[in-house]
A and B are shown apart, each in its own frame.
Chain A
Amino acid sequence: MTGTAALATGLEVKEKVSREDWIMRGVLLAIALFLSVSILLPLYSLMSKGFQDKDGNFTGFANFSEFFATPALTYSIFNSLTITLWTSGIVLVLAFTFAYGLTRSCMPFKSLFKGIALVPILMPSLLPAISLVYFFGKQGIISSWLFGYEIYGPIGIVMGEVIYVFPHALTIMLIAMAMSDARLYEASEALGASKIKTFFTVTLPGMRYGLVSAFFVTFTLVITDFGVPKVLGGKYNVLATDVYKQVVGRQDFEMGAVVSMVLLVPAVLAFFADRIVQRKQVAMVSTKAVPYVPQPSKGFDMAMLGFCSLLGFIILSILGMAFFASFAKFWPYNLTLGLNHYQFDLMDGGSWASYFNSIELATWTAIVGTVMIFVGAYLVEKSKGFRTGRAAMQFLCIMPMAVPGLVLGLAYIFFFNHPDNPLGFLYHTMPILVICTVTHFYTVSHLTAVTALKQMDPEFESVSASLKVPFYKTFRRVTVPVCVPAILDISMYLFVNAMTTVSAVVFLYSPDTTLASVAVLNMDDAGDTAPAAAMGMMIVFTAAGVRLLHAILTRGLARRTQAWRKR
């Protein structure tokens, strides 16, 4: 018989879908449904709002025409791009040099410097901005250093953003540098190339994807950040603060929708560009690279130590200033220390309740988010067949990254507050804050989970199927235990971000569910800068505590499981 005969006689074989496959598909669909409700439909509501007037009539591009006819608003686009490009440029240089020092020099205290550099991750972006006010504001201790310029405006925003995004850019640079191949350096040295020539012919080209990726991440973070310009913007308007002002200040939801759609454009573009670059980078490292081991070189090592010390000092001063300001009784007149700024219940716009609400939100986000994201990633990676369903799910998992928090939050107002929405009961509750926060930080966690799952032998599932062990048992007995480090990473990431985030939740809290980060914003707005700093410090203390707990857990786990983990 020939092949064509087989084709003629037999129809294509369709695999029987087993009970387990149905379970997998069911759970996958449930998570996909969650993401549809938590991002797809709200975004749709937002988009349609942009094309409606106040009474809900379709008006086409009328709102957009109005937007582009309002110079105050269009000017924000220009402002946003200006501060974003400045910040990206500065951060790339600083983070590259810092990462270069950490990986290519023999300077001492490397892990200490790395730890310090990551400190800003623990702060809401409002906090470095507040700290800058204490340095450079009207009553700041070194305001004269700005040569007559004001901290409120582009200079201040760029300074604040640089500190805010520095750890993110640094992390990407460190990964890119760790991946570069020592053999290239040896070859270059063997060919007699000078250090400078090696730098330009080997180091920089090898880093190009890392640099581009860091640029896009910085770009997105800055253009969508709302904390720093909120505190330091002054009369200098940017897109992110415009959204807030249109919605919270002027209650003009339609224009808010339009501005946030304008904000969505660069975020989405940067997102796709970054995905393309990431893919190329992965292709580049598929061959096994030999890690580079730096050789001591006194002058270079000292220079790097000097640079890293300076940056480390700046970051610590920012933190230290916020810390000090939160305890100083009456800046700048009475600098004795006390706890009066921590009596949040006496302030407008803040209370201890909001701190505990934040803890509650972070805890729920960490628990619900970790379970859902890890299970979702597992099913996307390991379920069989169901190609369209899985592709759709994959798209839904990646999508949140492209949506700025402010846009997400505003979209939630339109979607959940709509009178016809049966889910409207969620509006102004803790669950909606949890849903929003889980969604907002879904993608990074998802990618962490996927990376961990991909490192497992793909045949574990085949083996357990052959042994007639249902997949959920293998998931519980093998997949989860092996992935515990990644699971801890994800839950910590979610917790810390839920503590520090402002952008999405600022539209969604109610008097019963005020949050610490929002309290920082509101107290600062009301002129209570010191209490704002104090609340910011509470967030830092909490996030640092969680990080510490995470480190202890991870280390303890590593000790307990070292018998079976590959060294």
Chain B
Amino acid sequence: MGDKSAYLIIENLTKKFGDFTALEDISLEVFEGEFVCFLGPSGCGKTTLLRAIAGLDIQTFGRIEQAGRDISRLPPSERDFGIVFQSYALFPNLTVDRNVAYGIENRKTPKPEINAKVAELLQLVGMPEQGDKYPAQLSGGQQQRVALARALATAPGLLLLDEPLSALDAKVRARLRREIKDLQLKLGVTTIMVTHDQEEALTMADRIVIINEGVIEQVGTPEDIYIRPASPFVADFVGTMNFLPGTAGTQGHVKLDGIELATNSSTNDVGPDEPITICIRPEDVVTRGVTKDTDNAVPAVVDALEFLGSFYRISLHTQGPARTGFRADFSINLMRDLDISEGRDVVVSFPADLIRVYGEAFTHSDETV
């Protein structure tokens, strides 16, 4: 992002509710025109951070700068942002037109100009000709479009979205996801969206900020986050991951149930034979064309098959004394070609560049093998 300037700078931001620290020492830069997602489990502090940026709930410590202006102490009315909530928060007694016009009507704009602007905005969010309806007469998805139009009406420098899609059903959500992203690209408005849905973040964001228990775990592009998760938490939270107990081997190597595996992941900070966690995503486990002589080959036994539509998720365990369990995603034609079934021996490989190694032992939260 070297070619862009930091539009929003957050420095050492801490938010306390009484004795409870909801956010601790958050520092972050958001660049002009960027789409940033705050991603994390429910209750981790995403909304709190967004509300601090908006000035709706001012931080306890720390500084926020927007477009070169220190806004740390300013009330929301003196900041420059538009906001959309999960609940839509449309004014129920005003028509769609009046909702969208709400912010511009206050600015002494001539009436025809307001109406033209409203029509343009409704066109933009894909809701032309619906201006006379009341919010209660619209579907959830339509209401959220109106809320978006209302937030954009005053042409804010920063668009804040707090779980805008969470209340919608899956189909509408996927469609609006794309539309919001297109709209953001078209308008180039710097946008921060809060979500707990990793798919939403991965598909929409230029950069993702992973938050856990009030602390930033990682900031990076979706690819960064997915391929090079900076911590076991991120690895676990985004996508599916095998967490396998192992020990450190010689430089660039780790040991899993007696088998030495080469890895590109750094193992510098742990001494030989110290316990470590070896991570590999199920979809990165290879078996086609793998023999005992392939690099990083792991002989294993198939325990169970789970059909997940477009692929199978296979549970296996290693053949050494530890019988370490792990999962692999195999395509349907691979299953057919190699005739994989319960109880069969297979040899798989963990590609060295796709293995992640973490220095600590880690037990991940859900879905045990």
Contact = CB atoms under 8 A, between A and B. Distances in A.
Contacts of A457: 85, 87, 89
Contacts of B60: 12-13
A462 B56 contact: yes
A459 B72 CA distance: 21
A473 B83 contact: no
Given A6-B25, A463-B89, A15 B58 contact: yes
Interface string A537-567: 0000000000000000000000001011110
B89 A12 contact: no
Contacts of B123: none
Contact of B75 (A13, A15, A482, A563): A15
Given A1-B27, A5-B12, A466 B83 contact: yes
A462 B73 contact: no
B31 interface: no
Give the interface residue-count category, chain B. 35 or more
A13 B72 contact: yes
A9 B63 CA distance: 11
Contacts of A463: 83, 85, 89, 102, 150-151
B156 interface: yes
A566 B102 CA distance: 21
Interface residues of A, number: 41
B8 to A, nearest CB: 15
Contacts of B79: 466
Given A7-B61, A473-B106, A15 B73 contact: yes
Interface in A449-478: 457, 459-460, 462-470, 473, 477-478
B92 A565 contact: yes
Contacts of B136: 563-566
Contacts of A11: 61
Question: Which of B59, B75, B85, B103 has most A Cβ within 10 Å?
Answer: B75
A3 interface: yes
Interface string A474-513: 0001100110000000000000000000000000000000
A16 B103 contact: no
Nearest to B56: A462
A467 B80 CA distance: 9
Contacts of A566: 92, 136
Contacts of B109: none
Interface string B92-113: 1110000000110011000000
Interface string B66-81: 0000001111111101
B75 A466 contact: no
A460 B77 contact: no
Contact of A18 (B75, B83, B87, B153): B75
A478 B91 contact: yes
A13 B103 contact: no
B91 A10 contact: no
B93 A3 contact: no
Contact of B93 (A6, A466, A482): A482
Contacts of B27: 1
A13 B83 contact: no
A13 B73 CA distance: 7
A18 B78 contact: yes
Interface in A381-395: 384
A473 B12 CA distance: 36
Given A1-B27, A462-B89, A6 B14 contact: yes
Given A15-B75, A21-B75, A462-B56, A478 B87 contact: no
Contacts of B345: none
Contacts of A18: 75, 77-78
A14 interface: yes
Contact of B73 (A2, A3, A16, A481): A16
Given A460-B91, A467-B103, A478-B94, A3 B14 contact: yes
B75 A465 contact: yes
A468 B92 CA distance: 19
Given A463-B89, A463-B151, A478-B93, 8 more contacts: A13-B62, A18-B78, A460-B89, A462-B54, A462-B83, A466-B82, A467-B103, A473-B106
Interface of A: 1-3, 5-7, 9-18, 20-21, 384, 457, 459-460, 462-470, 473, 477-478, 481-482, 561, 563-566
27 contacts: A3-B14, A3-B21, A3-B25, A5-B25, A6-B13, A7-B14, A9-B12, A10-B12, A13-B58, A15-B55, A15-B75, A16-B78, A20-B77, A462-B76, A462-B89, A463-B83, A463-B150, A464-B102, A466-B54, A466-B81, A466-B82, A467-B102, A468-B154, A470-B77, A478-B94, A561-B93, A564-B137
3 smallest CB-CB distances across A and B, nearest first, come from A467-B103, A6-B12, A564-B134
